[in-house]
Structure 1
Amino acid sequence: MSKSNPLSVLLKINAQLEAPIDSRLIEQCYAIQQKHQFDKERNSVNEIKKVVEASISIPQGDLSI
C-alpha cells in the first residue's frame, strides 16, 4: 500500500468542491506548513495570513483570526 501525497489529496478534494479554492493558495499554504512542520514553535500563522490576505486583496492587518 502506497502513501498518498497530502498535497495531491488536498488538490483532488478541492477539485470536487462546488466553490473550489484557488489551487495556488492551497499549494502556497501547504508549502508554508511543510516548511514549519518540524519547528518547535510551528508559527506559520502569520505567513499563511499574508498569503490568504494577498489572495483576497485585503490589506494586511485587516483580517482577524
Structure 2
Amino acid sequence: AFAADMAMKAAIDSIQVLGGAGYMKDHPLERFMRDAKQIQIVEGTSQIQRLIIARNLLGL
C-alpha cells in the first residue's frame, strides 16, 4: 500500500512539473500514472491494507 501510494505521489508530482504535457498519451509519465493508479485499485485502499495487517498482527 505504501509503495503504491508513493508511486502515485511521484507520478502526480512529476506531471505537475511538466504541466499539461505530462498527460499526453505519448509521454512516459502518463503511462506511469495509469500503472500506479491500477496498482492502488488492485491492491485495495491503504485503509483496507492497514486493517488486514492489523487483524493479522492481532490474530483476529
TM range (shorter): 0.3 to 0.5
More helix by share: 2
Work out which of the two has the higher radius of gyration on C-alpha atoms and give 1 or 2: 2
TM-score where L is the length of structure 1: 0.31
TM-score where L is the length of structure 2: 0.33
